[in-house]
């Protein structure tokens, strides 16, 4: 049941990206072009998404347990550290260069565009590299 809920949530998210045209790299790059022909539509979509998200987050936090899991998995880290800053910078640079981030990239796969396939492949390679680096760093001192 939890996999079905995850799939439906992801499908709804992807549909929202497509309907709002946020899977269109040109639209995202126009939002990032504050010195040129700036397009504020991405800011409006983000604001529109934050409102129901904030309400749902408060509702979930008020419950004793989640509906489809044994426990809530809410990050406890509140400190801004070097890893967070570097990760945010890399994400932002990639978003600015390509005009897509992971969510829209997955939605764009349905179009079969070469750009989408190359971006998704590079994203998967980056995730695997991160996993390998993290895995070796955390198991380095173990017997």
Average pLDDT score, the chain: 87
Single out the residue of 9, 24, 13 nearest to residue 111, CA to CA: 24
83-93 tens-digit pLDDT:
899 989 998 99
Q: What span, in angstroms and rounded, lies between the C-alpha atoms of 111 and 133?
A: 32
Q: How far is CA 128 from CA 2, 90, 99, 135, in A?
A: 25, 16, 22, 10
* Per-domain boundaries in the chain: 2-139
pLDDT at 27 exceeding the cut of 80: yes
Contact 116, 105 (CB under 8 A): yes
pLDDT tier, 125 (very low <50, low <70, confident <90, very high otherwise): very high
- Identify the residue with better confidence: 79 or 134: 79
pLDDT at 48 exceeding the cut of 70: yes
Rg of the chain over all Cα atoms, to the nearest angstrom: 18
pLDDT at 143 exceeding the cut of 70: no
């Amino acid at each position: 049941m939890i996999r079905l809920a995850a799939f439906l949530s992801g499908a709804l998210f992807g549909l929202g990206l497509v309907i709002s045209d946020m899977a269109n790299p040109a639209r995202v790059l126009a939002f990032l072009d504050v010195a040129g022909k700036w397009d504020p539509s991405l800011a409006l979509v983000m604001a529109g998404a934050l409102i129901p998200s904030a309400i749902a987050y408060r509702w979930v936090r008020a419950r004793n347990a989640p509906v489809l899991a044994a426990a809530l998995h809410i990050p406890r880290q509140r400190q801004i550290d070097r890893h967070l800053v570097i990760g945010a910078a890399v994400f932002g640079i990639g978003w600015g260069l390509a005009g897509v981030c992971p969510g829209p990239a997955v939605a764009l796969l349905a179009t079969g565009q070469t750009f989408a396939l190359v971006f998704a492949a590079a994203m998967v390679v980056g995730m695997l590299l991160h996993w390998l680096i993290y895995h070796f760093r955390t198991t380095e001192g173990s017997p």
